């Protein structure tokens, strides 16, 4: 008689039952039992900076998933095992006589390394087959990388070219109607102290905890019920966000957004306002995509259907707006996500740092990561120069004295989400715009505070914004006053998140330190006492940053260069700056602006020369994000850029056919 199939389904990036190719693959095995397991991994509890809002979102999503499982099988629910998966999964496979371990494949960062260790250990047991099924993105990043000859996709154009031979994302799968029950959940002696060591040398979330951590007191939780941990057990205070987790909420939000067909069909990212927050101008679906509460195919096809309906119903209406196109439309937004996933997949764990990262330009940022002689990262990071540390802290806490920056950083802390162009503003300010502080520090703060934090999109966008990779027009800097004024002259976002400034007249809302003292008194807020003076001279620092980056570009080192690995590069650049390079003409003459690869900032509109952006006239990107390479003063396009334009055209044609 054939052996009964016993599945351990390991939930990780797929907290949903709709459109789950991995869950479908598990059910196609016709299992007698299916154990839905989540491992509560100490890596995320101690070694990642995870703030209260992301933990809370995760716990809510786990509860929602558990309820969805119970609806499909009264005996089923999410079984949370509180141990490192490298230990827990093999132990469970042995104890529960698992014939198949099934999960959604995760190609990113720590997860990829963790999984290869888990698989190695499970295979060593013998008797358990492993099925890792693609499902987190529209295209399988590994296949995209293979099509791109193993190289990272450094622009949307190169990503599109690599993906064009791959199968189109299919329509989403329906949720299963029924699930098999889990089998006996007795743990016997599967877990001993030896195979479940919980602990850490450094608890990066120590400062956030208000009480002692208890979530690892029992391997299967209190009363051995495999319960979902609580914020209390994590020692954390309640969340502050108004964003609820879970598949149910994800589908409700998607429904609500797609109901307005005109908005979906004419969505143009550069025109969405970062100053809108209630409701925001974009979908706010990123947290749900991150945890897999929403499948990217469900998102894609709902959007495509809405656009089709719009086009059909407006076919004869000559006056109606045409549907927008990638990359500025909603489908285009998903493609940026795809591009970063594929780039990270090719680059591996170094994608999240400068050192060893061959795609990342070396710039002598302040407060970079620091490493021991053996190459291991120093955690916690030793303190740097006092002025830089103070600037970094002010940025992080929303106390820079620049209301637009401060409002965004406070919104981020409170809500765990900010608009894309708001992310642009604060990332540019911290790095190449004003503070010259390493993007690694900014990415770390986003890691702590964003609900949607994702190792691919976060590091990728930080490299983009700091002109370390993907984008190279470092002389284009967001104005701290002029940029927000472009979207909202009344300062709604500032009034909401910096309430001490709420009574300032519109004229001074983005620069209250310029208000006469009687205006400050009338507003009930004295600058320098009730709200900080600006921590720096934004225009002066902007010029300094540009000339320093120009010098770093001239050196041309990347993160894997010997000079970077030996830490010689910083001293070399210091020397170059000392030789009077600070006064170097910032004109970016031909060849200084890197290879010119990449598109304009992801839907930023920064290249459009809008009045709110301090734009150099030499090089611009259009709203499609493709480089036009038109240089002022009659300078001809370089041969390289005209070749790139041909490629862009080809891939655009390809996409418009799809």
Residues that bind ligand FAD (CB under 6 A): 269, 282-286, 289-290, 330, 333-334, 336-337, 340, 419-420, 423-424, 427, 446, 450, 452-454, 457-458, 461-462, 465, 602
- Residue 213 or 359: which CB sits closer to ligand FAD? 359
- Residue 2: CB atoms within 10 A of its CB come to 4
CB 362 within 8 Å of CB 569? yes
Q: Is 333 annotated as a binding residue?
A: yes
- Give min distance, CB of 423 to ligand FAD, in A: 4
CA 368 to chain centre: 20
Distance (Å) of CA 28 to CA 21, 100, 102, 179, 359: 10, 12, 11, 11, 41
- Give min distance, CB of 352 to ligand FAD, in A: 11
- Residue 221 or 287: which CB sits closer to ligand FAD? 287
Strands of 74-172 (E only): list them.
79-81, 100-104, 129-133
Residue 531 carries which DSSP code? B
Q: Is 192 annotated as a binding residue?
A: no
Q: Is 204 annotated as a binding residue?
A: no
Residue 571 bridge partners (DSSP): none
* Joined tokens for residue 579: 């030789």
Q: Is 284 annotated as a binding residue?
A: yes
* Joined tokens for residue 61: 């999503």
- Residue 277 or 531: which CB sits closer to ligand FAD? 277
- Residue 48 or 269: which CB sits closer to ligand FAD? 269
- Give min distance, CB of 282 to ligand FAD, in A: 3
The values of phi and psi at residue 26, to 5°, are -65, -45
- Residue 159 or 216: which CB sits closer to ligand FAD? 159
Q: Is 335 annotated as a binding residue?
A: yes
Distance (Å) of CA 615 to CA 189, 428, 511, 586, 619: 66, 14, 20, 13, 9
- Give min distance, CB of 133 to ligand FAD, in A: 20
- Residue 355 or 424: which CB sits closer to ligand FAD? 424
What is the Cα–Cα distance from 651 to 614, expressed in whole angstroms?
31
What is the Cα–Cα distance from 296 to 289, expressed in whole angstroms?
7
- Give min distance, CB of 336 to ligand FAD, in A: 4
Q: Is 488 annotated as a binding residue?
A: no
- Residue 182 or 245: which CB sits closer to ligand FAD? 245
- Residue 29 or 414: which CB sits closer to ligand FAD? 414
Q: Is 454 annotated as a binding residue?
A: yes
Q: Is 595 annotated as a binding residue?
A: no
Q: Is 453 annotated as a binding residue?
A: yes
Q: Tell how many helices (H) and how many strands (E) occur in the chain.
A: 24, 7
The values of phi and psi at residue 202, to 5°, are -130, 130
Count of CA atoms in the C-beta half-sphere (13 A) of 564: 22
Q: Is 493 annotated as a binding residue?
A: no
- The alpha carbons of the chain give a radius of gyration, in whole angstroms, of 26
Residue 93 carries which DSSP code? H
- Give min distance, CB of 434 to ligand FAD, in A: 15
- Helix (H) or strand (E) segment spanning residue 37: strand 33-39
Count of CA atoms in the C-beta half-sphere (13 A) of 339: 24
What is the Cα–Cα distance from 26 to 17, expressed in whole angstroms?
12
- Give min distance, CB of 620 to ligand FAD, in A: 19
- Residue 82 or 361: which CB sits closer to ligand FAD? 361
- Give min distance, CB of 330 to ligand FAD, in A: 6
Q: Is 501 annotated as a binding residue?
A: no
- Give min distance, CB of 531 to ligand FAD, in A: 25
- Residue 99 or 425: which CB sits closer to ligand FAD? 425
What is the Cα–Cα distance from 35 to 128, expressed in whole angstroms?
14
- Give min distance, CB of 349 to ligand FAD, in A: 16
Task: Provide DSSP, 206-270.
Answer: TTT-SS---TTSSTT-GGG--PPP-TTTTTPPPP--SPPPSHHHHHHHHHHHHH-HHHHHT--GG
Q: Is 462 annotated as a binding residue?
A: no
Among the listed residues 537, 546, 548, 542, the one whose alpha carbon sits nearest the alpha carbon of residue 578:
548
- Give min distance, CB of 432 to ligand FAD, in A: 12
- Residue 191 or 351: which CB sits closer to ligand FAD? 351
CB 532 within 8 Å of CB 400? yes
Enumerate residues 6+ apart whose C-beta is below 8 A from 176.
Answer: 17, 23, 24, 27, 72
Binding-site annotation: residue ranges: 282-286, 333-340, 452-454
Binding-site annotation: residue ranges for FAD: 282-286, 333-340, 452-454
């Amino acid at each position: 008689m054939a052996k009964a199939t016993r599945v351990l389904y390991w939930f990780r990036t797929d907290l949903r039952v709709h459109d789950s190719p991995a869950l479908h693959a598990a059910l196609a095995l016709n299992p007698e039992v299916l154990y839905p397991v989540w491992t509560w991994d100490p890596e995320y509890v101690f070694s990642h900076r995870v703030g209260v809002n992301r933990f809370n979102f995760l716990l809510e999503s786990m509860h929602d998933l558990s309820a969805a499982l119970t609806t499909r099988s009264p005996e089923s629910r999410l079984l949370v095992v509180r141990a490192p998966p490298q230990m827990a999964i093999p132990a469970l496979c042995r104890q529960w006589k698992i014939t198949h371990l099934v999960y959604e494949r995760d190609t990113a960062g720590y997860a990829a390394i963790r999984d290869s260790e888990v698989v190695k250990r499970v295979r060593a047991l013998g008797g358990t087959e492993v099925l890792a099924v693609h499902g987190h993105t529209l295209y399988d990043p590994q296949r995209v990388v293979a099509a791109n000859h193993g190289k990272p996709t450094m622009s949307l154009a190169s990503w599109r070219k690599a993906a064009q031979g791959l199968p189109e994302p299919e329509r989403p799968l329906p949720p299963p109607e029924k699930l098999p029950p889990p089998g006996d959940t007795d743990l016997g002696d599967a877990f001993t102290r030896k195979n479940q060591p919980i602990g850490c040398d450094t608890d990066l979330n120590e400062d956030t905890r208000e009480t002692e951590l208890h979530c690892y007191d029992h391997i299967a939780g209190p009363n051995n019920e495999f319960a979902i941990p609580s914020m209390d057990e994590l020692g954390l205070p309640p969340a502050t966000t108004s964003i609820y987790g879970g598949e149910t909420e994800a589908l409700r939000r998607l429904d609500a957004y797609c109901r307005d067909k005109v908005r979906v069909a004419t969505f143009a990212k550069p025109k969405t306002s970062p100053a809108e927050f209630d409701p925001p101008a974009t979908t706010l679906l990123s947290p749900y995509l991150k945890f897999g509460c929403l499948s990217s195919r469900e998102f894609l096809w709902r959007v495509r259907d809405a656009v089709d309906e719009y086009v059909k119903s407006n076919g004869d209406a000559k006056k109606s707006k045409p549907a927008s196109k990638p990359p500025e439309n909603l489908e285009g937004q998903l493609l940026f996500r795809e591009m970063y996933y594929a780039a990270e997949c090719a680059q591996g764990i170094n994608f999240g740092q400068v050192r060893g990262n061959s795609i990342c330009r070396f710039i002598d940022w302040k407060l970079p990561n620091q490493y021991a002689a053996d190459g291991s990262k120093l955690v916690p990071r030793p303190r740097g120069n006092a002025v830089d540390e103070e600037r970094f802290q002010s940025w992080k806490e929303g106390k820079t004295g620049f209301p637009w920056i401060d409002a965004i950083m406070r919104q981020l802390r409170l809500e765990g989400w900010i608009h894309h162009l708001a992310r642009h503003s604060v990332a540019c300010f911290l790095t190449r715009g004003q503070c010259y502080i390493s993007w690694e520090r900014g990415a770390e703060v986003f890691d702590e505070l964003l609900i949607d934090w994702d190792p691919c999109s976060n590091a990728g966008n930080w490299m983009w914004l700091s002109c370390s990779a993907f984008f190279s027009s470092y002389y284009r800097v967001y104005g701290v006053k002029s940029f927000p004024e472009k979207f909202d002259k009344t300062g709604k976002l500032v009034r909401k998140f910096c309430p001490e400034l709420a009574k300032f007249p519109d004229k001074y809302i983005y620069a209250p330190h310029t208000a006469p003292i009687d205006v400050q008194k009338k507003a009930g807020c004295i600058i320098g006492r009730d709200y900080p003076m600006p921590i720096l001279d934004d225009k002066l620092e902007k010029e300094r940053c540009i000339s320093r980056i120009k010098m770093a570009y001239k050196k041309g080192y990347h993160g894997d260069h010997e000079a970077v690995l030996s830490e010689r590069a910083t001293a070399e650049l210091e020397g170059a700056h000392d030789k009077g390079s600070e006064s170097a003409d910032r004109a970016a003459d031909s060849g200084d602006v890197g290879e010119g690869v990449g598109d304009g900032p992801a839907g930023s509109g920064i290249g459009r020369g809008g009045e709110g952006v301090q734009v150099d006239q030499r090089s611009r990107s259009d709203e499609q994000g493709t480089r036009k390479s038109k240089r002022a003063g009659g300078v001809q396009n370089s041969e390289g850029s005209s070749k790139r334009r041909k490629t862009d055209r080809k891939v655009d044609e390809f996409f418009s056919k799809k």
